[in-house]
Chains A and B, each alone.
Chain A
Amino acid sequence: MTDTSAASGPGGAETSAPPAASSTTAGWRDYVLLMKPRVMTLVVFTGLAGYVAAPVAINPLLAAIAILAIAVGAGAAGAFNMAYDSDIDALMKRTRRRPVPTGRVPKDEAYAFAGVMSLGSVLLMGLATNYVAAGLLAFSIFFYCVIYTMWLKRSTPQNIVIGGAAGAFPPMIGWAVATGSVSLDAVILFAIIFLWTPPHSWALALYKSGDYQAASVPMMPVAKGAASTRFQIVIYTALYLAATVGPVLTGLGGVVYTIAAGVGGALFAALAVKVWRSKAGDVPNAEDELYAVRAGDKAARDLFAYSIAHLSLLFAALLVEHGAGAHVSLTQLIG
């Protein structure tokens, strides 16, 4: 449940679509945009995977309501972020058409929307499942809104490294929905997303650094330079790929997961090295569209796009293995 408004934040990148209408009054699409639907999709997906991968299940209707609560909580955090960051969003090409900077949704209204939905989602989660899941949901919303959006984002180039925790909570919440607790496997799923966030977000920041510079957001390429960012992408990629081995070691990930982590991880590493060797981000750039880049920045754009696919692939593998009964662990296969 993290942002990418200035930071392609923890939890996936998101961009604003064109205004819903030429009118200055808000339409329902503006409220949907306020919830950052792209980020929400990844949050729901990883939360669902965490729930399905857990060793026990609850009533399917309650599980569906819990996933809805995760989605609403993520939307609430996104709306808060858009309200708080409307000043810098207005300065960046990628975000200037969002509902709050364009004035279609007043800032106070966005705050109220976020507050009501936050309360509703946590309340619903607590009633439908258990207080561990509700507590984790509440903490993830708090972390995203206060720790990341209000504090880290504008103050340190480590913003998305630490803030990445907010986007890493959903699978842990999904796990807690089923089990009422947090286990090693849940922590590993958290670590995977947490360590995935820096290479993912910095890849975007490399080819959108002009935007961040204009808004004075200290993203790594702006604060430490493109070369340092490219090097750190490689370091965090290594840590991320190491974390993806975790589920194989604990038996949570079976053969399908192992193939996805191995083959997909090799491609991830290759793209990260390509970024390291490239000149991506050397010249500040800020095209309008999320995936639009100049020739020199293509490696960064490719890593950014692929990182989303790889994370989705890993969690899809867990979903298939545990949801469709296709889980065969390596020890079973060897034995």
Chain B
Amino acid sequence: MTEPTNPAHEPLRDGQGNIIETVELTAEEQAARKRRARFTALALVAFIALIFVVTVVRLISNVGGGA
């Protein structure tokens, strides 16, 4: 499900000039894709934040334990 990238809706062509078949997304599908992309980004940020928190907490406890 790739969206045509040229705004004029000219058919995409490969190096030999052959038309590349593409899929036109409906408005609903585009909205769904945008939602998924946002959620994936949020999940990624949340995961990174969790790793950061784990690192800091373990670092503090290790430093505290070593002191």
17 contacts between A and B (CB under 8 A): A23-B28, A25-B28, A26-B32, A26-B36, A28-B35, A59-B57, A59-B61, A61-B53, A62-B57, A65-B50, A65-B53, A65-B54, A124-B51, A127-B51, A127-B54, A128-B54, A128-B58
The answer to whether B29 touches A25 (Cβ under 8 A) is yes
- A interface residues, tally (CB under 8 Å): 13
The answer to whether A61 touches B32 (Cβ under 8 A) is no
From residue B30, how far is it (CB to closest CB) to chain A in Å? 10
From residue B42, how far is it (CB to closest CB) to chain A in Å? 11
A62→B62 CA distance, assembly (Å): 13
A115 at the interface (CB under 8 A from B): no
From residue A318, how far is it (CB to closest CB) to chain B in Å? 26
- B interface residues, tally (CB under 8 Å): 16
Contacts of A59 in B (CB 8 A): 57, 61
From residue B2, how far is it (CB to closest CB) to chain A in Å? 15
List 13 extra interface pairs beyond A62-B54, A62-B58, A124-B54, CB under 8 A: A25-B28, A25-B32, A26-B32, A28-B35, A59-B57, A61-B57, A65-B54, A120-B47, A124-B50, A124-B51, A127-B54, A127-B55, A127-B58
A195→B21 CA distance, assembly (Å): 56
Mark B residues whose CB is within 8 Å of A: 28-29, 31-32, 35-36, 39, 47, 50-51, 53-55, 57-58, 61
Could you tell me the dominant secondary structure of chain A's interface residues? helix
Could you tell me the dominant secondary structure of chain B's interface residues? helix
Q: Select from chain B the residue with minimum beta-carbon distance to A124.
A: B50
The answer to whether B39 touches A28 (Cβ under 8 A) is yes
A289→B25 CA distance, assembly (Å): 36
From residue A129, how far is it (CB to closest CB) to chain B in Å? 9
Contacts of B32 in A (CB 8 A): 25-26
Q: Select from chain A the residue with minimum beta-carbon distance to B61.
A: A59
**Lowest 7 A-B CB distances belong to which pairs?**
A25-B32, A128-B54, A127-B54, A61-B57, A59-B57, A25-B28, A62-B57
A124→B57 CA distance, assembly (Å): 13
A124→B49 CA distance, assembly (Å): 11
Contacts of B39 in A (CB 8 A): 28
Contacts of A68 in B (CB 8 A): 50
A68→B54 CA distance, assembly (Å): 13
From residue B39, how far is it (CB to closest CB) to chain A in Å? 7
Q: Select from chain B the residue with minimum beta-carbon distance to A127.
A: B54
Contacts of B28 in A (CB 8 A): 23, 25
A263→B25 CA distance, assembly (Å): 60
A245→B58 CA distance, assembly (Å): 38
From residue B18, how far is it (CB to closest CB) to chain A in Å? 27
